[in-house]
Structure 1
Amino acid sequence: MIQTIKAQLGKAAGLVLIFTLICGVIYTLAVTGISQLLFPIQANGSMIEVDGKVYGSELLGQQYTDEAHMWGRIMNIEAATFTNDEGEMMMYAWAGNISPASDEYEALIAQRVEAIQAAHPQMKDQPIPVDLVTMSGSGLDPHISVAAAQYQAARLAENNNMTLTEIDAIIEACTEDKFLGFFGEGCVNVLKVNLMLDGILE
């Protein structure tokens, strides 16, 4: 009986070792290698790098509040910063869990509506696109609608000494089409717009 149990335990341990190697090592290395070979940018976080400097990820929103830059969606995030071994400042960010039905969320929207109206007096007769005063499910969305981007065009032109035509061209250059051509709506990457406004991207 004891020998039978030992034999079964030995087989079970062997299977655990085999599947650990297959699923935990071989599979992981294969997927990592294939992704680095075929999709290196996406596999490394879709980072925007110019002249060796990383400015952020295409997939992670950054908060801009000054009038010379495009504003994204409300960001409800928790963040932690630290310095790595190379002396570079690093940040981890994750979405908060504020409820859309909470007083805190209502106050955030009211505050954002007031800020939007104050910064865009030339648009006072136009409705504010809803994504400029609400947050996404993650709270870290890097995109806004084309309407939300165009709503800010006059402010951006005025504060960057540019024409509306130039701003519209930047918005168009940073607009991503519908997924597979028909899912969802076109959207604008806010970080890319702001990097083009700063002359970092062309």
Structure 2
Amino acid sequence: MERLPSRLRRHLAALRAVAVLTVLLGLVYPLAATGVAQALFGERADGSVVERDGRAVGSSLIGQSFTDADGDPIRKYFQSRPSAAGDGYDPTSTGASNLGPEDVIDVLPAGSDEGRLSLLTQVCARSKAAGELEGVSGARPYCTPDGVGAVLKVFPDRAVSVNQACPAAPFIASYQGLKVECARPGEDYAAGRTVPVRGDVTTVPVPADAVTAGGSGLDPHISVAYAELQAPRVAKERGLALDRVKALIDEHTTGRALGFMGEPAVNVLELNLALDGR
């Protein structure tokens, strides 16, 4: 029998390899991995879907917002931490804002430019809003009373509160003998020396996870401290005893991973569903 040409034999060998690998890696391996996952992890392998009255209402692994159509917090629910994933908790846009601690100066809106809030101002605004919602002080170091970053640009003859657009009153009247001015949108203050001003805040009732977004943007948990801060509001809105609400927080608090990693945390969706179940 005459042998096939070497070039044809190489092509046939390549086709056989593609067929075998397609079956192994495209069929056998996925089926095996799925079978092992279903046998060992069950519900978690299916996405840890949470159901209520026969319909899916979320996942215990992915956070969600508890806000109304205008984006305002629904007062009878515990609120999740902020999210930078898309418009909030969007699994298709998971990720962080990539803003760091040096990001303290806003780009003020000017003309067609919508501007941009610095990480510091985002934290300040969230802290102010959380404080107002929970009836506590939302003050933080390096934040102005109106909820923006307390940052000056200092020049030889003046200082400018760069995150407070005119006609806002600057958070301090003077700095080292220089009069402090409000910022004029569109003006370039890059040449000035950047000076964040800490202020005299000594206690911060609003915890860090209430004002900062997680790395994934999908965190389903909040800290125990943030849950306890919200408990009085939720208890009042629902007409429940505060002790009962705190007991539900305890029931939905997970411990440290492996007993020593991380901090205890509260699953917001499961806690809110438990409250609705009452």
TM-score w.r.t. length of structure 2: 0.62
Question: In 1, Cα distance between the equivalents of 2:87 and 2:206?
Answer: 28
Kindly provide the CA deviation profile for residues 23-48 of structure 1, in whole angstroms up to 9, marking residues without a partner as x.
11101011112222332211111011
8 Å CA contact 2:83, 2:218 repeated in 1? yes
- Higher relative helix content: 1
Larger CA deviation: 26-35 vs 186-195 = 26-35
Distance 1:170 1:67 in 2: 17
Question: Which residue does 2:23 correspond to in 1?
Answer: 21
1:121 is matched with which residue: 135, 143, 154? 135
| Deviation (angstroms), 1:51 | 2.7
Residue 68 of structure 1 contacts residue 160 of structure 1 at CA under 8 Å; is this kept in 2?
Answer: yes
Structure 2, unaligned runs of 5 or more: 67-72, 107-116, 139-202
State the Cα distance separating 1:21 from its structure 2 match: 0.7
Q: Is the 8 A contact 1:79 1:93 kept in 2?
A: no
Bigger Rg, structure 1 or 2: 2
The ranges of structure 1 where at least 4 consecutive aligned residues each deviate by more than 3 angstroms after the TM superposition are 122-126
| Structure 2 residue corresponding to 1:151, chosen from 197, 206, 229 | 229
Structure 1 unaligned runs (5+)?
Answer: 81-90
SS of the equivalent of 1:198 reads helix
TM-score for the superposition, normalised by structure 1: 0.83
Measure the CA separation in 1 of the matches of 2:134 and 2:231.
Answer: 9
CA distance in structure 2 between the aligned counterparts of 1:186 and 1:56, rounded to whole angstroms: 21
Q: What is the aligned length? A: 189
Q: Give the corresponding residue for 1:72.
A: 80
Residues in 2 aligned to 1:159 and 1:172: alpha-carbon distance in whole angstroms: 20
**Correspondence for 2:275 among 180, 197, 200:** 197
**Paired position in structure 2 for 1:110:** 124
Measure, in 2, the Cα distance between the counterparts of 1:155 and 1:100.
Answer: 31
Q: Select 2:12's aligned residue among 7, 10, 33.
A: 10
RMSD of aligned residue pairs (Cα, Å): 2.3
Check the 8 A contact 2:96/2:213 in 1, yes or no: no
